[in-house]
């Protein structure tokens, strides 16, 4: 029965991944219905904390975007990249990682791609190198950003194990950043030099690569600057509260002391942050719920509702079998968890969805927390099949034609940087985690 039900989950995930978007979360609800009404499994509680964290974070990020804060960050990125364009292959991925870390969304990289492409061509550098690494870096940072949907889910799942945000960030930040730097360094000579690339030479000869006009200096309003400052203060407050639990309020009752939970802390801080951004950043209120960030966040909440609920309901019905059989296998070969997470992430093309599906299963297997966090780095696998919007956007922004999908599909521009990032991040996170947890 365990394997039969697991096959049902795999089929639902596969079918949902083909349709994509909100359909994946809805199919999670179908999975819950199958387990409850057909197999008579008692449903688990929906992941309310995870959903509320995502909602609070997304509201603050959407207010930041509506107030022009993300545009201001892009303006700062162009300034930083222009200072050392010869080193763009290393600097661009680091900036992409940093911006995703601060904003909690990899979508910010779209605005950086034209700048990276332009500076690379102007300095005779193959655009594929900084562009492909920047795409991977922007996704890697999702698993260490305190305000991303995937990290929000991870916080909710790991809190009962006594692993807080501070520990997760202490492991994930150096792991992902080392992966980004290593990938950039190892691929700094990847592919032919730009002036030797036949596709670039063809486009240049046909006049398809126009010299960009000098754009006027962007005017940044005070509201955008204020919103960025407020959002970063909110992120900093969350990190500090996660690292120093004594700073959180506590209450004594019946001889027991209860400390404000980290999920509630994030929810409160982000709601306050969103309010202050609206007051001082002065965005158009009606644009906050209509922007792409809120849409992505709403999708994450639907996935949390359906997929995480399906996963935990399945686990509840098969607890005995998992403990007696599956746990023994995975505990003997813990690397298998990272491989399985990578496969699921490649199919779903979503770090958040994979976290919601796989982490509850890993916890049910009673794996050590450091193994779970180390394997969690493998959820950044949406590059494996180059159908994710980030990969397609990168290909279209490379006017030199160096970023592409190969004849055999999997030999695309993102594969080598992605695998280097994933492998190093998993190894480093596991090693740091084994020393901390």
Are 146 and 238 within 8 A, CB to CB? Answer: yes
Are 241 and 247 within 8 A, CB to CB? Answer: yes
SS3 helix, strand, coil % of the chain, rounded to 5? 75, 0, 25
Distance CA 266, CA 247 (A): 13
Are 201 and 124 within 8 A, CB to CB? Answer: no
Domain ranges of the chain: 23-36+45-436
Least confident window among 69-73, 224-228, 285-289, 295-299: 295-299
Distance CA 415, CA 342 (A): 13
Instruction: Work out the average pLDDT over 172-195.
Output: 94
Helix 335-348 to helix 351-364 angle, to the nearest 10 degrees? 150
Instruction: Work out the average pLDDT over 255-261.
Output: 86
Contact partners, residue 90, CB within 8 Å, separation at least 6: 181, 184, 185, 188
Instruction: Work out the average pLDDT over 52-69.
Output: 87
Give the per-residue pLDDT at 121. 92
Does 231 score more than 80 pLDDT? yes
Does 389 score more than 70 pLDDT? no
Does 214 score more than 60 pLDDT? no
Give 392's pLDDT tier (boundaries 50, 70, 90). confident
Give the per-residue pLDDT at 413. 92
Strand ranges (E), 125-179 = none
How high does pLDDT run on average in the chain? 86
Q: Quick one: which H or E segment has residue 101?
A: helix 88-103
Does 328 score more than 90 pLDDT? no
Give the per-residue pLDDT at 323. 67
Does 300 score more than 80 pLDDT? no
Q: Is 246 helix (H, G, I), strand (E, B) or coil?
A: helix
Distance CA 217, CA 130 (A): 24
Least confident window among 115-129, 140-154, 214-228: 214-228
Least confident window among 100-104, 153-157, 172-176: 100-104
Does 217 score more than 90 pLDDT? no
Give percent above pLDDT 90 in the chain. 35
Least confident window among 190-204, 250-264, 379-393: 379-393
Distance CA 120, CA 85 (A): 7
Instruction: Work out the average pLDDT over 405-416.
Output: 84
Does 221 score more than 90 pLDDT? no
Give the per-residue pLDDT at 428. 97
Give the per-residue pLDDT at 211. 57
Distances (CA, A) of 284 to 107, 165, 278, 280: 21, 33, 8, 12
User: What DSSP letter does each residue of 324-391 carry, written as one string?
Assistant: IIIHHHHHH-THHHHHHHHHHHHHH--HHHHHHHHHHHHHHTT--HHHHHHHHGGG--TTSSTTSHHH
Least confident window among 105-119, 224-238, 364-378, 408-422: 105-119
Give 80's pLDDT tier (boundaries 50, 70, 90). confident
Q: Among candidates 341, 381, 339, 380, which has minimal Cα distance to 358?
A: 341
Q: Is 22 helix (H, G, I), strand (E, B) or coil?
A: helix
Task: Read off φ and ψ for residue 251, nearest 5 degrees.
Answer: -135, 140
Task: Read off φ and ψ for residue 258, nearest 5 degrees.
Answer: -110, 125
User: What DSSP letter does each residue of 251-295 carry, written as one string?
Assistant: EEETTEEEEPPHHHHHHHHHHHHHHHHHHHH---HHHHTTSHHHH
Give 58's pLDDT tier (boundaries 50, 70, 90). confident
Distance CA 369, CA 377 (A): 13
Give 216's pLDDT tier (boundaries 50, 70, 90). very low
């Amino acid at each position: 029965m365990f394997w039969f039900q697991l096959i049902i989950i795999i089929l639902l995930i596969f079918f949902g991944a083909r349709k994509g978007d909100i359909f994946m979360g809805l199919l999670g609800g179908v999975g819950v219905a199958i387990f409850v009404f057909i197999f008579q499994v008692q449903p688990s509680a929906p992941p309310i904390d995870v959903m509320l964290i995502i909602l609070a974070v997304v509201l603050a990020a959407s207010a930041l975007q509506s107030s022009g804060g993300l545009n201001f960050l892009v303006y700062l990125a162009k300034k930083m990249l222009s200072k050392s364009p010869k080193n763009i292959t290393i600097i661009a991925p680091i900036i992409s990682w940093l911006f995703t870390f601060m904003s909690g969304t990899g979508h910010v990289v779209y605005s950086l791609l034209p700048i990276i492409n332009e500076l690379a061509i102007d300095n005779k550098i193959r655009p594929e190198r900084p562009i492909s690494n920047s795409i991977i870096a922007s996704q890697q940072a999702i698993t260490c950003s305190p305000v991303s949907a995937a990290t929000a889910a991870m916080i909710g799942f790991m809190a009962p194990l006594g692993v807080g945000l501070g520990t997760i960030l202490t492991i994930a930040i150096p792991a992902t950043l080392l992966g980004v730097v290593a990938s950039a360094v190892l691929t700094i000579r990847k592919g032919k030099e730009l002036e030797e690339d036949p596709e670039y030479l063809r486009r240049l000869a046909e006049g398809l690569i126009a010299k960009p006009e000098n754009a006027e200096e962007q005017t940044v309003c005070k509201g955008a600057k204020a919103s960025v400052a407020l959002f970063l203060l909110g992120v900093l407050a969350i990190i500090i509260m996660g690292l120093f639990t004594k700073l959180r309020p506590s209450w004594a009752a019946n001889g027991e002391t209860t400390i404000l939970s980290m999920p509630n802390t994030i929810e409160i801080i982000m709601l306050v942050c969103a309010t202050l951004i609206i007051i001082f950043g002065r965005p158009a209120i009606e644009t906050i719920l209509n922007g792409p960030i809120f849409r992505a966040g709403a999708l994450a909440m639907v996935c949390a509702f359906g997929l995480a609920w399906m996963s935990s309901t399945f686990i509840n019905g098969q607890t005995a079998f998992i403990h007696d059989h599956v746990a023994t296998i995975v505990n003997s070969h813990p690397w298998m968890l990272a491989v399985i997470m990578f496969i699921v992430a490649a199919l779903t093309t979503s770090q958040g969805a994979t976290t919601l599906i796989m982490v509850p299963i890993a916890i049910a297997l009673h794996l050590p927390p450091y193994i779970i966090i180390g394997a969690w780095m493998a959820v950044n696998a949406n590059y494996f099949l180059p159908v994710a919007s980030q990969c397609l956007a990168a290909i279209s922004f490379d006017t030199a034609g160096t970023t592409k999908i190969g004849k055999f599909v999997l030999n695309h521009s993102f594969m080598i940087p992605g695998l280097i990032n994933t492998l190093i991040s998993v190894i480093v996170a596991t090693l740091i985690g084994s020393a901390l947890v």
